[in-house]
A and B are shown apart, each in its own frame.
Chain A
Amino acid sequence: MPCMNNNGEITEMARKILTAMSESASLPEIAAKTDVPLYRIRGAVRELVEAGLAAEQDQNYVITEIGAAALKKSGISL
């Protein structure tokens, strides 16, 4: 999974997206905050949701407790 590396750690892309989700955000907002194309955000967020690192909330996306823990493990505290 591009959001996780072989060691089970989140990737740079996942870190950027999860950080952008520290406040509830729509997919276009996440794309704008991260400067990543929207198509790629859609694919990556789908994977983050499937992995339980992010969740959909009223058509926006938020980081979950699991996502925040993974982010903290990678050295980023929200």
Chain B
Amino acid sequence: MDTAIAVNPGFPRLNQPAPAFEAETTHGTLRLEDFQGSWVILFSHPADFTPVCTTEFVAFAELAPELKKRGVELCGLSIDSTYSHIAWVRNIEQIFGVKIPFPIIADLNKDVATLYGMVMPGESKTETSRCVFVIDPKGILRAMIYYPLTTGRNTQEILRLIDALQATDKHGIATPANWKPGDKVIVPPPRTTEDAEERMRAGYETADWYFSKKTL
């Protein structure tokens, strides 16, 4: 039986440099490198003037102040024109009273969408799925989330993901399931038998040599 799995060779990979781009946005022409030094959440939505996307944009806009505190910039994208984006952003402000503070890429030729594998032909050949790419201040792709067209994203989960990644970078730890700031974190497992022996005496909350937690 043929079980070949089709892999898009252009698909981005975690812990590799995020694909570089230059694109027209609602904030002018921007390059990925313009965000250097900040964390970036690059996210795509299927189309302007659609209901689920509108709820997401309102949610992302409401999340923006918390992200700013964490040094994170947002950048949206869809296969729509700049004019469509501008009209939609103005509509959101008029109807919902929410100002969209972040740029939106007008990716009409799908250049960026293709680089990042945002189009899922099984869902739609003309729209980007609900993708999220977390890029760190050095331009390394640190996390990816893909949601289908029908399901709006949970922005609190995206904030939790940012907190977890930043805690990992700052403290050299990992985070357990459902972790949130203030919870105990995972101490990376020892890599040698000597370190495993030492770990048992290290004073962490240790269930076994490979499973230790601590408070930050």
Contact = CB atoms under 8 A, between A and B. Distances in A.
Given A42-B34, A43-B34, A37 B28 contact: no
Interface string B92-109: 000000000001000000
Contacts of A47: 28-29
A2 B30 CA distance: 11
B28 A43 contact: yes
Contacts of A2: 27-29
Contacts of B27: 2, 40, 43
Interface residues of A, number: 12
A39 B73 contact: yes
A44 interface: yes
Secondary structure at chain B's binding surface: helix, strand, loop or mixed?
A: mixed
Contact of A44 (B28, B31, B38): B28
A38 interface: yes
B35 interface: yes
Which applies to chain A's interface (DSSP): helix, strand, loop or mixed?
helix
B105 to A, nearest CB: 12
B65 interface: no
Interface of B: 27-31, 33-35, 37-38, 73, 103
Contacts of B37: 38
Nearest to A13: B28
**Which 4 pairs show the lowest CB-CB distances between chains A and B?**
A2-B28, A42-B34, A39-B34, A39-B35
A37 B73 contact: yes
Nearest to B68: A37
Contacts of A3: 28
Contacts of A46: 29
Contacts of A44: 28
Contacts of B28: 1-3, 40, 43-44, 47
Nearest to B33: A42
